[in-house]
Structure 1
Amino acid sequence: MARYTGPVCKLCRREGMKLYLKGERCFKDKCAFEKKGYPPGQHGQMRKKISDYGLQLREKQKVKRIYGVLERQFRRYFDRATRMQGITGENLLQLLERRLDNVVYRSGFARSRKEARQLIRHNHFLVNGRKVNIPSFLCKEGDVVEVKEKSRDIAAIKESVETAEGRGLPEWISLDKTNFKATVNRLPVRSDINYDVQEHLIVELYSK
């Protein structure tokens, strides 16, 4: 499976915002974005005039990097969003939020989406009592995501659950810390997504 394997802190610097790709490190002073809040590279600190196309491209890249999705899969999500009722940009963000790796991260079982994908791939989670090891699995309203009983002693999961409330839990998910269960109370809406994203620019880019 193709995936980005380069330095993730450079991605935050390139997009000009924290993408929270390294878990707890992103909340500390060691965060590279806090030290160098400008794009990486020799000309990173130069002021550049960005074209309309450049703005649209940067917005697409930002969302792809937040959710850890590569181009081909991201385009499939967009095509599906266009066929759904409602606003295409909001539909796109909702589909990305419903991914199992995002739900695991948002519920507090992992400190980053990358860590969530690894835990899912290693068969540590159940959805409605059944094993699911596909990070892109789309959760529905009423789904219950839980850590397998044998996996509840994993240090990374235990530590992440303990600090979950400090990172903030979305309103559309409820967490039962005692039983290591999270319930999707409803599908996410635009107001639940607190990232600085202008999804209409992505729609404009793909609509050309």
Structure 2
Amino acid sequence: MARYTGAVCRLCRREGKKLFLKGERCFSDKCSVSLRSYAPGQHGQSRKKVSEYGLQLREKQMAKRYYNVSENQFYKYFEMAERKPGMTGENLLKILESRLDNIVYRAGFASSRAEARQLVLHNHFRLNGKKVNICSLLVKPGDVIEVTEASRSNDKMKAVVETWSARPVPMWMDVNKDGMTVKMDRYPNRDEIDLEVAEHLIVELYSK
């Protein structure tokens, strides 16, 4: 499936909540969800009765868009989560949180996951000392991600880190802002993942 290249603010409006896809704009008065808190399109403001399937689909779409992954990738992560011990829904969110682009975003090295994806693709990071440019790579506890030596002197990278240095760092990772490194200590618990999604509905959707 082709990656979505349209206006990302429409995605937030469609889900009815901020998915933080636009970086700094999401925290400003220009946020589309704050200005127009209804779905985009001609019939966006009309009231519709949502079926059980519709509720399940919306939860899946919201999680998929929040982490900026394709439909095929999302379903592969679901299959992976099913094979792991524990609750499938929570396993799915933990897998999504452990993506390299998400770790870079959570650490404050990018203003959004889209920007984190671009930075990873452009070889700005190392994983355990080796250059990586695969955004979907799944980071494991104990892994260390660092900004490459060449990129540390990059003005844009410095500006991003400085701008987002005040962003709260998740308890499950250890970030060194000065050294521009982040270590994943463990997988996050469900209450440490700030996405307001009913993951059990995603499991029900794929279990049909």
Q: Which bracket does the TM-score occupy, shorter chain normalised? A: over 0.9
Asked if the contact 1:110/1:156 (under 8 Å) is kept, the reply is no
Distance 1:52 1:4 in 2: 26
Distance 2:54 2:154 in 1: 43
Provide Cα deviations, 1:91-120, integer angstroms capped at 9, x if missing partner.
000000000000000000000000001110
Q: How many residue pairs align between the two structures?
A: 208
Alignment-derived partner of residue 102 in structure 1: 102
Alignment-derived partner of residue 154 in structure 1: 154
TM-score (norm 1): 0.97
Residue 163 of structure 1 deviates from its aligned partner by 3.1
Provide Cα deviations, 1:59-98, integer angstroms capped at 9, x if missing partner.
0000000011111111100001000000000000000000
Alignment-derived partner of residue 194 in structure 1: 194
Distance 2:33 2:47 in 1: 18
Asked if the contact 1:77/1:95 (under 8 Å) is kept, the reply is yes
Asked if the contact 2:145/2:183 (under 8 Å) is kept, the reply is yes
TM-score (norm 2): 0.97
Residue 34 of structure 1 deviates from its aligned partner by 1.0
Alignment-derived partner of residue 127 in structure 2: 127
Q: Equivalences for 1:1-208 in 2 at 5 Å?
A: 2-208=2-208
What do you get for the CA RMSD once the two structures are aligned? Answer: 1.2
Residue 166 of structure 1 deviates from its aligned partner by 3.0
Distance 1:154 1:200 in 2: 43
Residue 188 of structure 1 deviates from its aligned partner by 1.4
Paired AA for residue 148 in structure 1? T
Residue 165 of structure 1 deviates from its aligned partner by 4.2
Residue 138 of structure 1 deviates from its aligned partner by 0.5
Residue 164 of structure 1 deviates from its aligned partner by 2.9
Structure 1 segments unaligned to the other structure (5+ residues): none
Residue 47 of structure 1 deviates from its aligned partner by 1.3
Partner SS for 2:146: strand
Partner SS for 1:145: strand
Structure 2 segments unaligned to the other structure (5+ residues): none
Partner SS for 1:68: coil
